[in-house]
Amino acid sequence: MRTPIIIDCDPGHDDAIAILLALAHPERLDIRGITTVGGNQILERITDNALKVLSFVDADIPVAKGAAGPLLGKLVTGAEAHGESGMDGPALPASRFKPVEQGAVEFMLELLRASEEKITLVPLAPLTNIALLITAYPEVKEKIKEISLMGGGLAYGNVTRTAEFNIYVDPEAARIVFDSGIPIVMSGLDVTDKAAIFQEEIDELKTRGPVSVLVGELLDFYSIYGRKMGYVGNALHDPCAVAWLLQPELFRSERLHVTVETEGKLTRGMTVADRRKKPEQPANAEVLLDVDREAFMQLLFTALERLDREQLLRQAPAGGS
């Protein structure tokens, strides 16, 4: 059975890998559309990156541009990790595709209203677009099956000691989403740092087909920042939110009530979970805490191998001797 999804993203190296992971499983995931939001870089650059990735694998999926910045304040980008383009490293050709004319909120609204089945949202970025959607059109919450998001962390942050990047960029939006009543699966740093790919695996990707090589080159650049921050492996954050939809058995999780701190001087953007024996409110999120790393890598490598084969078939000359 195919799960209809909308991916909300800010490519971003790991966003691109998450999109490729989803594209490799058309029998499982029906990607109805992709929306973009200012985050890892400014909106124009990350939208162009999304279109380039889709063009590279010849996936004609509609892309809608969303919010350029957070609900309040100015955009903080992830340029230190993702570079000036937001996806530095490989030199991808210009995209053959263009974004749709609709903005992200109107685009998602139309998809949700038109769908006969509930749609899963997969945000891999600041939650601005999702918050704007459910605030302006609260009735569409009934059309959302769940939200499988990458963001947050119970134990620590990465932008600050308490806040993970996607939540830190727009904590007000994140607060709206977590308090929305929509079922949430949270892939935070507690699990995504454990979904790490190591240099020998990156090197192996670069010996394979064109899509695997692209991912290897993306990770070569992305690893630079990880090493600077003291990591040995390179955490594949965003792919976790897609992998959970494909193989939830790879993960260990705990149902918790999570909300977002928006005011604290030291804790703004922190995802705060109630882990007491008798929490004040019922759980609103399935929080992923651990992953079978080897099985996760097998899922990724198999997906890229499938995309490699498809890419090579497209590139093969017609006919033959």
Report pLDDT digits (tens) over 272-321.
999 999 999 999 999 999 999 999 999 999 999 999 999 989 887 765 54
Task: Say if 297 falls within a structural domain.
Answer: yes
Of the two residues 227 and 16, the one the predictor is more confident about is 16
Question: Quick one: pLDDT band at residue 229, thresholds 50, 70, 90?
Answer: confident
Helix/strand/coil for 277: coil
The number of distinct structural domains making up the chain is 1
How far, in Å, CA of 226 to CA of 23, rounded? Answer: 26
pTM, entire model: 0.97
Annotated active-site residue 237? The verdict is: yes
Task: Say if 78 falls within a structural domain.
Answer: no
How far, in Å, CA of 131 to CA of 180, rounded? Answer: 9
Active-site annotation holder among 13, 25, 82, 237: 237
pLDDT of residue 317: 76
How far, in Å, CA of 18 to CA of 295, rounded? Answer: 16
Q: pLDDT, tens digit, for every residue of 36-78?
A: 999 999 999 999 999 999 999 999 999 999 999 999 999 999 9
Average pLDDT over residues 245-250: 98
| Separation in Å, CA 217 to CA 32, 196, 199, 287, 295 | 28, 16, 11, 31, 22
Any idea what the CATH number is for the domain that residue 194 is in? 3.90.245.10
Tell me which residue of 298, 300, 284, 293 sits closest to 251, measured CA to CA.
293
How far, in Å, CA of 236 to CA of 291, rounded? Answer: 12
Task: Say if 259 falls within a structural domain.
Answer: yes
Q: At what angle do helices 13-23 and 43-56 cross, to 10 degrees?
A: 40
Average pLDDT over residues 83-108: 96
Average pLDDT over residues 199-214: 97
Q: Which domain holds residue 135?
A: 3-71+87-315
Task: Say if 165 falls within a structural domain.
Answer: yes
How far, in Å, CA of 148 to CA of 29, rounded? Answer: 13
